[in-house]
């Protein structure tokens, strides 16, 4: 059986870095089981002309579907169905809203959450003419009726999954080498959950040995972007990982996401020694009350201030993520957020507009209060505008705040990426130069700190 795995290009104005690592994992998992006739097409990097030939030469077309790429994903499904192919769709959006995606006449199956075992079982059933009704985490149709098998199992030992098939796509991985060391997230933040758990299942880590073995194969002397939601959740794991990197001397530079309550000065120093060049932390709001009562972040702003100061002392650049336009947020809260971002010595900062992505607490609260401006997922854009109007503010207010933020950092000679609302602190650029460290360019920094954020609902 011939299989095409396709990653659609999200709607214009969204940025994607590198091929879809999840599809590379699916390919390697199937190939280990002897299903080797697999073609990959990533429309973010490949010539679109290659899609038609990939569809025509396949029996099954698997399509990755994020919320940002829902319409493009359905367009690929339509083209595949016109060619009379079997269409399987997986990824964040079908994991959260399987019925919505499966209702399309062009989609035959959807896979919820991690897809390795379910896709293998489906392909084996299609090859043998077997029954698919007992496949865990599979959505299918019976005489037009939608049937959804919930995800009840997941791969407990991530070391049993082979390394991703990076030959699936024609891509120069030296430009953006992505690695995933964990799956899932144990936290309950309102902007991600419970949707994130529906996509990634329980929190698990690969062994340090397994991750280091992969790095030895593909990453020596390169820049690596860990796409994990938070690489620092397990303190023992991250300490041992850094120690191994120092021992192995792989000449790596790497970036990851961390968290205010999992980092401290000693860990930052060890990570820097191990080659870490940038850590992103989600501070989100300058209002402690909002962090506690709505966002459920489990972080303390005083601890965040201390961590930022410690990062300066250690020489580890921290990137701070912030959100404006959060449900239940007041204008006073927004002012506090802007003030916090401006007044602390972060290496870079990024702002998103509060967005009610499907399956999140953001969405539930917005719907309960009739704050949603649209039910069309294509109109949501966390980097450009708000999709909400609360009793306190509307999208025009958030647009004004966004413009004010851009002008503030531009006036202070920060390196400004207006499209992504990301700003680089010139003081940190001077520190890196003075220390003789290899300096991250703005584009490389954005990749290092944004890569894991791009996995949630986004392209």
Longest dimension (CA), the chain: 68
List Cβ neighbours of 153 (8 Å cut-off, separation of 6 or more). Answer: 117, 136, 137
Q: How far apart are CA 439 and CA 227, in angstroms?
A: 21
Average pLDDT over residues 329-337: 96
Query: Where are the domain boundaries for CATH 3.40.50.280 in the chain?
Result: 3-148
Greater model confidence, 65 or 445: 65
Q: Residue 459 pLDDT more than 70?
A: no
Q: What is residue 7's predicted lDDT score, i.e. its pLDDT? A: 95
Q: How far apart are CA 134 and CA 76, in angstroms?
A: 27
Q: What is residue 433's predicted lDDT score, i.e. its pLDDT? A: 57
Q: What is residue 441's predicted lDDT score, i.e. its pLDDT? A: 44
Nearest Cα to 204, choosing from 255, 250, 153?
153
List Cβ neighbours of 266 (8 Å cut-off, separation of 6 or more). Answer: none
pLDDT interval class at 172 (50, 70, 90): confident
Q: Residue 86 pLDDT more than 90?
A: yes
Q: How far apart are CA 49 and CA 79, in angstroms?
A: 13
**For the ranges 22-26, 38-42, 424-428, 452-456, which has the lowest average pLDDT?**
452-456
Nearest Cα to 211, choosing from 149, 280, 146, 163?
163
Q: How far apart are CA 319 and CA 444, in angstroms?
A: 13
Average pLDDT over residues 193-206: 87
**For the ranges 7-21, 151-165, 247-261, 418-432, which has the lowest average pLDDT?**
7-21
Q: Residue 337 pLDDT more than 90?
A: yes
List Cβ neighbours of 409 (8 Å cut-off, separation of 6 or more). Answer: 342, 349, 416, 423
Give the angle 330-422-419 at the CA atoms, nearest 5°: 95
Q: How far apart are CA 277 and CA 253, in angstroms?
A: 6
The pLDDT tens digits for 230-241 are 999 999 999 999
Q: What is residue 445's predicted lDDT score, i.e. its pLDDT? A: 45
How many other CB atoms are found less than 10 A from the CB of residue 234? 18
The pLDDT tens digits for 243-252 are 999 999 999 9
Nearest Cα to 124, choosing from 6, 34, 56, 41?
34
Q: How far apart are CA 262 and CA 260, in angstroms?
A: 6
Long-range contacts of 282-285 (CB under 8 A, 24+ apart): 282/189, 282/257, 282/321, 283/320, 283/321, 283/322, 283/340, 283/341, 284/189, 284/191, 284/321, 284/322, 284/323, 284/326, 284/337, 285/322, 285/323, 285/326, 285/329, 285/333, 285/336, 285/337
**For the ranges 283-297, 388-402, 432-446, which has the lowest average pLDDT?**
432-446
Average pLDDT over residues 358-381: 93
For all residues of the chain together, what is the average pLDDT?
91
Q: What is residue 19's predicted lDDT score, i.e. its pLDDT? A: 81
Q: Residue 207 pLDDT more than 90?
A: yes
The pLDDT tens digits for 6-52 are 999 987 655 555 789 999 999 999 999 999 999 999 998 888 889 99
**DSSP letter at 158?**
G
Q: What is residue 449's predicted lDDT score, i.e. its pLDDT? A: 42
b/e sequence 273-307, b meaning 16+ C-beta within 10 Å: ebbbbbbbbbbbbbbeebbeebbbbebebeebbeb
**For the ranges 300-309, 386-395, 447-456, which has the lowest average pLDDT?**
447-456
Residue by residue, DSSP assigns 369-428 as TT-BS-S-GGG--TTT--SB--SS--HHHHHHHHHHHHHHHHHTT-EEETTTTEEE-HHH
CA-based radius of gyration for the chain: 22
- 8 A C-beta contact, residue 205 and residue 237: yes
Q: How far apart are CA 217 and CA 265, in angstroms?
A: 31
Q: Residue 439 pLDDT more than 50?
A: no
As a whole number of Å, the end-to-end CA separation of the chain is: 28
- 8 A C-beta contact, residue 446 and residue 420: yes
Query: Where are the domain boundaries for CATH 3.80.30.20 in the chain?
Result: 174-455
pLDDT interval class at 133 (50, 70, 90): very high
Nearest Cα to 449, choosing from 10, 13, 15?
15
The pLDDT tens digits for 266-311 are 999 999 999 999 999 999 999 999 999 999 999 999 999 999 999 9
Q: What is residue 438's predicted lDDT score, i.e. its pLDDT? A: 41
Q: Residue 358 pLDDT more than 90?
A: yes
Q: How far apart are CA 384 and CA 421, in angstroms?
A: 8
Q: Residue 198 pLDDT more than 90?
A: no
Query: Is the pTM of the predicted complex or chain greater than 0.85?
Result: yes
Q: What is residue 307's predicted lDDT score, i.e. its pLDDT? A: 97
Average pLDDT over residues 192-203: 85
Average pLDDT over residues 365-391: 92
Please name the fold of domain 3-148.
Rossmann fold (3.40.50)
Alpha helices in 33-106 (DSSP H): 49-56, 70-82, 92-96, 98-102
Please name the fold of domain 174-455.
pyruvate-formate lyase- activating enzyme (3.80.30)
Average pLDDT over residues 410-423: 92
Inter-axis angle of helices 265-273 and 235-248, nearest 10: 30
Q: Residue 111 pLDDT more than 80?
A: yes
Q: How far apart are CA 231 and CA 181, in angstroms?
A: 7
Q: What is residue 453's predicted lDDT score, i.e. its pLDDT? A: 43
Q: What is residue 195's predicted lDDT score, i.e. its pLDDT? A: 83
Q: What is residue 385's predicted lDDT score, i.e. its pLDDT? A: 85
Q: Residue 107 pLDDT more than 50?
A: yes
Q: What is residue 450's predicted lDDT score, i.e. its pLDDT? A: 45
- 8 A C-beta contact, residue 56 and residue 83: yes
């Amino acid at each position: 059986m011939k299989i095409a795995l396709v990653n659609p290009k999200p709607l214009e104005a969204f940025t994607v870095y590198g091929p879809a690592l999840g599809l590379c994992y699916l390919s390697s998992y199937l190939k280990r089981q002897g299903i080797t006739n697999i073609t990959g097409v990533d429309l973010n990097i490949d010539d679109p002309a290659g899609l038609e030939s990939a569809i025509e030469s396949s029996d099954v077309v698997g399509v990755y579907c994020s919320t940002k790429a829902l319409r493009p994903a359905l367009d690929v499904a339509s083209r595949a169905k016109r060619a009379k192919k079997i269409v399987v769709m997986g990824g964040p959006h079908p994991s959260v809203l399987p019925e919505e995606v499966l209702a399309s006449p062009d989609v035959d199956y959807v896979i919820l959450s991690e897809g390795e075992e379910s896709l293998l079982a489906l392909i084996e059933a299609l090859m043998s003419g077997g029954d698919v009704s007992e496949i865990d985490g599979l959505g299918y149709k019976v005489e037009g009726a939608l049937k959804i098998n919930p995800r009840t199992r997941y791969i407990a030992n991530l070391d049993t999954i082979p390394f991703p098939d990076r030959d699936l796509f024609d891509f120069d991985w030296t430009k953006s080498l992505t690695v995933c060391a964990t799956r899932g997230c144990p936290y309950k933040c309102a902007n991600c959950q419970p949707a994130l758990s529906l996509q990634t299942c329980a929190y698990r880590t690969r062994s340090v040995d397994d991750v280091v073995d992969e790095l030895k194969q593909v990453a020596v002397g390169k820049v690596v972007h860990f796409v994990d939601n938070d690489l620092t959740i397990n303190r023992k794991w991250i300490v041992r990982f850094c120690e191994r990197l120092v021992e192995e001397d792989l000449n790596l530079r790497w970036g990851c996401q961390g968290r205010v309550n999992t980092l401290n000065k000693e860990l930052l120093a060890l990570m820097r020694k191990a080659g870490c060049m940038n850590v992103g932390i989600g501070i989100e709001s300058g209002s402690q009350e909002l962090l506690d009562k709505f966002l459920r972040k489990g972080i303390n702003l005083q601890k965040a201030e201390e961590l930022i100061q410690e990062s300066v002392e250690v020489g580890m650049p921290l990137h701070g993520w912030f959100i404006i336009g959060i449900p239940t947020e007041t204008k006073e809260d927004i002012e506090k957020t802007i003030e916090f971002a401006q007044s602390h010595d972060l290496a870079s900062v990024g702002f998103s507009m509060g967005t009610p992505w499907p399956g999140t607490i953001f969405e539930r609260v917005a719907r309960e209060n009739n704050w949603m401006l649209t039910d069309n997922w294509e109109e949501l854009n966390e980097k450009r505008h708000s999709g909400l109007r609360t009793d306190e503010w509307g999208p025009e207010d958030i647009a004004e705040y966004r413009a004010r933020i851009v002008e503030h950092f531009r006036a202070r000679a920060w390196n400004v990426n207006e499209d992504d609302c990301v700003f680089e602190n010139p003081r940190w650029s001077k520190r890196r130069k003075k220390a003789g460290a290899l300096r991250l360019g703005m584009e490389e920094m954005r990749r290092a700190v944004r890569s894991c954020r791009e996995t949630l609902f986004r392209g």
